[in-house]
Structure 1
């Protein structure tokens, strides 16, 4: 009996050793590193021209010099579609001009600059703040676009009573005149009080950018879209979060009907306007002070990257 037990014991030990030495390779999915060669960038530029949901953002602190990678446009995710320079957009250095040209020509990224559309004092040129000067200031805006090689302009329309461009007739005239000077190939975006733009005004602007900061549920985004839905298609409507305040968490807590509580930028990426036709979609998403997201210690711009992937899943 002892011999039988001893034999069973050694058979068990041998089986254990064999199992521990099993060299069969597990079926682990590995992603090959992306090869950023000429073909990659050709495909990237083609993607930018295709029909898809856009990634937009306001970029502050642009220097294109020094040791901080966050100060360079070229260190943004290359799948970002439109960047609007926040802050000093004029008097560009050679380094900034080179950085601008690089992302435009290599990545296919569009770059605009932001102007506060309150009064003439915010516009290029030293114009008296009267409506009669709107054609002249519109030409000055267009001249600046061409001078520096930008792809258009973004009007931050947050004016109030007493401001020249708070009057809808003046803002409509500005948009009409800027479009006439820019031509059809340049971008005109309007953010801020997008509900104040007239039906005619939206004939000249490409995108309505909603400052949907701190939005906690889909109905908030839907209400923002209602402000302009009479005049523009959903493809021209972009929603944005405030990453000056909420970059580290990807936004505020947002209640998604399927996933529950998620970061608001991710909720914005998943959201589509109610009642749109099959095949339609929102214009895209974006963030204010997008450059703050470079500070993530794991993946730079991780929430922006995730949002882009949700809207436009990469082909395997």
Structure 2
């Protein structure tokens, strides 16, 4: 651990020497103080961390190809825009290298960015059953096995120092198992998780669900901080309105429409569309723009009145690190953050 922290502080020192570079130029901070300068002092980072504790529309993404190394920061969490609130690690979330540990600790401790474990939970033991071992033999069966597995996920969060878990839930897209798509099993799984993470736990760790929140056991709505929707190739506000409506209907009687909207994060597929900022999107007034911008501008309507959404984000956000024609990294995500939370000069 001593070596890890030594590496981390060396990493911070190296980054600090680069603060005049475009990699670290942020213009999207919403804060009474001017946080748009490139001289990133401790006072700047303190205000950045305080900003992330406020009630605002969040910026999110699934971060893949993570190494924490390289000549650029493309594969490092440290290279993300400062105002990104939280990310889900997509892929190599385990067996972290010294560089990954240092990178993770830097964004958590200095920038206040939270990072979640993320994978598809279809059946008991997914991602955690030892290689070559039969899942039923290792975990057992029934509710006891589900609870044991849920606690093992939470133990892994603690082991690696993550800030919570993103449950990739897609039973109607080829990922139905003995948990996913089985309401009684989902209830045991999520309620066990909710004792240790999420809004019911009192731990300040996040428990989010992505994919199909409109299909999950409705009783579980209060267990989650956010409902993250894969609104890929989103064509317009009507698409987002319809998706939200189905999720509101799913949780009817458990969460109000406003509560569902307040947890609702919409995302675009930047594995395919990072270099264009999404696809053509049409808002309610007929204006056209690219879809990530449209998601940032979209405001949900409930019973004829506008209500707050949780935020927006991208899948494989790291693919936007460099976009031809722009003088900064993550140009579309930065614009989306600015739209959702205009800087206070």
Cα 1:224–1:43 shift into 2, 3 Å: same
1:106 matched to 2:118: no
In the TM superposition, residue 280 of structure 1 has moved relative to its aligned partner by 4.0
The answer on whether the counterparts of 1:53 and 1:312 sit within 8 Å (CA) in structure 2 is: yes
Equivalent residue pairs, number: 286
Q: Which runs of 5+ in 1 are unaligned?
A: 1-30
1:152 matched to 2:179: no
SS at match of 1:166: coil
Q: Distance in 1 between matches of 2:268 and 2:331?
A: 14
Which segment drifts farther, 163-172 or 265-274? Answer: 163-172
Aligned to 1:227, which of 246, 251, 255?
A: 246
Matched residue, 1:20: none
Q: Distance in 1 between matches of 2:330 and 2:309?
A: 22
1:58 matched to 2:62: yes
Decide which structure has the larger Cα Rg and report it. 1
Aligned pairs for 1:8-47 within 5 A: 33-47=37-51
In the TM superposition, residue 300 of structure 1 has moved relative to its aligned partner by 1.0
Matched residue, 1:305: 334
Matched residue, 2:142: 131
The answer on whether the counterparts of 2:52 and 2:112 sit within 8 Å (CA) in structure 1 is: yes
In the TM superposition, residue 311 of structure 1 has moved relative to its aligned partner by 0.3
Aligned pairs for 1:271-286 within 5 A: 271-275=298-302, 280-286=307-313
Q: Distance in 2 between matches of 1:72 and 1:149?
A: 17
User: TM-score normalised to the size of structure 2?
Assistant: 0.78
1:289 matched to 2:325: no
In the TM superposition, residue 199 of structure 1 has moved relative to its aligned partner by 2.6
Matched residue, 2:80: 76
The answer on whether the counterparts of 2:299 and 2:306 sit within 8 Å (CA) in structure 1 is: no
Which segment drifts farther, 221-230 or 90-99? Answer: 221-230
The answer on whether the counterparts of 1:123 and 1:141 sit within 8 Å (CA) in structure 2 is: no
Query: Structure 1, residues 32-85: CA drift from partner, whole Å, max 9, x if none?
Result: 843211111111011100000000100000000132421100000010001000
1:199 matched to 2:218: yes
Cα 1:200–1:257 shift into 2, 3 Å: closer
Query: Structure 1, residues 289-310: CA drift from partner, whole Å, max 9, x if none?
Result: 0000002132210000000000
In the TM superposition, residue 258 of structure 1 has moved relative to its aligned partner by 4.2
Matched residue, 2:236: 217
Query: Structure 1, residues 250-297: CA drift from partner, whole Å, max 9, x if none?
Result: 100001234722000000000011127978410000100000000213
Q: Which runs of 5+ in 2 are unaligned?
A: 1-34
1:261 matched to 2:288: yes
1:181 matched to 2:185: no
